[in-house]
Amino acid sequence: MSSSGYIPVANKGLITVSVMLATIMQVLDTTIANVALPHMQGSLSSTQDQVTWVLTSYIVASAIMTPATGWLTGRYGRKNIFLVSITGFTLTSILCGMATSIEEMVVFRLFQGVFGAALVPLSQATLLDINPKEKHTSAMAMWGVGIMLAPILGPTLGGYLTEYYSWRWVFYINVPVGIISFLGILTFMTETDRQERPFDTLGFWMLSITIGCLQLVLDRGEQVDWFQSKEIIIYVGSGLAAFWIFIVHSKYAKHPFLSPEIFLDRNFMTGIFFIFFVGIILLATIALLPPYMQSIMGYPVIDVGLTMAPRGLGTMISMFIVGQISSRIDPRILIVTGLILIAVSLWEMTGFNSFVPTFLIIKTGFFQGLGLGLIFVPLSTISFATLDQQYRTEAAGLFSLMRNLGSSIGVSVVMTLVSTGRQMNHSYLAENITPFNVGLMENYFDQTLSSISAMGLFMIDSQINKQAATIAYLNDFALMMWVVILSIPFVIFLKNPHKKQPKNLPEILSD
């Protein structure tokens, strides 16, 4: 192994395909089950509140186990953890498809999240290790395609399988993918060196409680009315207490759960800051557009998926371009360009209405995809450029965790703002609906919109609801635009990995 962590291996292409299949399988499951929830609810005889735990249990379990990837890999070896994770994920997918009650489904999804947590960080660390440093950007471009496209394609694929087959196929589809990935890794991947590092039990449990409580607040908050619920107050209090204990314990522990050296690397710390915002932009937009197109514009599910597909195409194109030009251009320029493209596309989306042309939705989605690709690839590369190889797997776990937390927070915030904004906008618009409003008098409109008939009031209320929801969605687009704009100045904290750093005195003397 070289000082940069590069491990020359045979069958590099087959290893890449095998680990990418595992990554896509895991990331796809974060969104593919969403559209199948109504069908699960009827089939498993569950309530709306109960069926949401199908998503919550998976997300919480995955978030809790992700930071443990580094320690598990060091103790048992990357190949072994990969094989156990894929086997467990595939078997629990089968069990999810066979579930006969909501209780079984929630338990199986929880274990699916536990086994799947390590797949994304392990694949990232593997691709960085089996490629020389000059090929890291190309490797991250390939890895990024799976990470970025899977959440976009998930709802479309889930809707298709549910519509034409059964919601159970949302889980059964993982089986052939898992088997191929398992056989590929078993056959072609070599084992990594192991490290005898003590396990920080207290640190692990405190961080797990912190992450778990945060995810539960985000996933359950809107359903139980946030801080009006004792459930949310308990989660917040428990999470804050656990986080405080984790910080104090990590400062004085001889072998803390997370290596302190990781947090001293400026590029990595800035990178996880940015990937947090990328997570917000990626899934928050995906969460907003389908209900916007369905409830306001009347799109069927299949058309929604087709309309959003160009977003993935834009991501693939930009990642291919970045892979070709990355060695000749400062990656910070690519990141800023991507942020500007996303900000401009979100600004265009603030001008949407209830009759927005399909072409405009496709265009803004395509340019957002271009921007995300320009950000994700160089960011994934530059974040690890100055980090010691021995911390790579642990850092990859944190990188994935921050992306997932950004996604969870982003989706929770924008959906809450849509809900509250719809009510506030409806109240404001309805204030002006009176029999004395000149615009509603019968000599201006026909009887269908008259404020003095039951049918007229029904039609008016329907239009108010539609416009109130539209305004709420547009306000969310504007908020996301400002989040992107305000994050641009932080690019200056990233170091250019292509620029040679000045040598220190011992290095000069040794030369």
Burial of 15-40, coded b for 16+ CB within 10 Å and e otherwise, reads bbebbbbbbbbbbbbbbbbbbbbebb
Say how far apart CA 455 and CA 469 lie, in whole Å: 21
What per-residue confidence (pLDDT) applies to 30?
A: 72
What per-residue confidence (pLDDT) applies to 506?
A: 41
Q: Which amino acid is at 117?
A: A
57 with 105: CB under 8 angstroms?
no
The two tokens of residue 23 are 């990554």
- pLDDT at position 511 over 50: no
- pLDDT at position 101 over 60: yes
Of the candidate ranges 56-70, 118-132, 451-465, the one whose mean pLDDT is the lowest: 451-465
Give me the chain's average pLDDT, please. 79
Q: What would the pLDDT profile of 299-342 be if each residue is shown by its tens digit?
A: 776 677 677 778 878 888 887 787 777 667 778 888 889 889 99
What per-residue confidence (pLDDT) applies to 507?
A: 41
- pLDDT at position 441 over 60: no
- CA–CA distances in Å: residue 348 to residues 152, 279, 289: 20, 21, 14
Say how far apart CA 257 and CA 102 lie, in whole Å: 34
Q: Is the dihedral of CA 418, 419, 425, 430 positive or negative?
A: positive
The two tokens of residue 492 are 């200056």
Instruction: Name the pLDDT band for 502 (thresholds 50, 70, 90).
Output: very low
What per-residue confidence (pLDDT) applies to 240?
A: 92
Helix, coil or strand: residue 117 = coil
What per-residue confidence (pLDDT) applies to 503?
A: 43
335 with 274: CB under 8 angstroms?
yes
The two tokens of residue 263 are 């947090």
Helix, coil or strand: residue 199 = coil
Instruction: State the average pLDDT over residues 138-160.
Output: 73
pTM of the model: 0.75
* Residue located via tokens 């190949």: 79
Report the C-alpha dihedral over residues 414, 418, 421, 425, rounded to 10 degrees: 140
388 with 332: CB under 8 angstroms?
no
Say how far apart CA 371 and CA 487 lie, in whole Å: 14
- pLDDT at position 100 over 80: yes
What per-residue confidence (pLDDT) applies to 91?
A: 94
Q: Is the dihedral of CA 451, 453, 455, 457 positive or negative?
A: positive
Residue 243 burial (10 A CB sphere; 0-12, 13-18, 19+): middle
What per-residue confidence (pLDDT) applies to 379?
A: 81
The number of C-alpha atoms within 13 Å of 290 and in the hemisphere containing its C-beta is 23
What per-residue confidence (pLDDT) applies to 49?
A: 66
Q: For a pLDDT cut of 90, what percent of the chain falls above it?
A: 6
Q: What would the pLDDT profile of 186-222 be if each residue is shown by its tens digit?
A: 888 877 666 777 778 888 888 888 888 887 887 777 7
C-alpha closest to that of 296 among 368, 247, 353: 353
C-alpha closest to that of 127 among 374, 399, 356: 399
How many residues would you count in the chain?
511
More confident residue, 260 or 175: 175
C-alpha closest to that of 173 among 269, 278, 283, 90: 90
Instruction: State the average pLDDT over residues 144-163.
Output: 73
- pLDDT at position 452 over 50: yes
Instruction: State the average pLDDT over residues 259-273.
Output: 82
Say how far apart CA 99 and CA 248 lie, in whole Å: 42
The two tokens of residue 463 are 């239009």
More confident residue, 376 or 434: 376
Instruction: Name the pLDDT band for 244 (thresholds 50, 70, 90).
Output: very high
Say how far apart CA 15 and CA 364 lie, in whole Å: 35
Rg of the Cα trace of the chain?
24
Of the candidate ranges 17-31, 138-152, 357-371, the one whose mean pLDDT is the lowest: 138-152
* Residue located via tokens 């949302």: 170
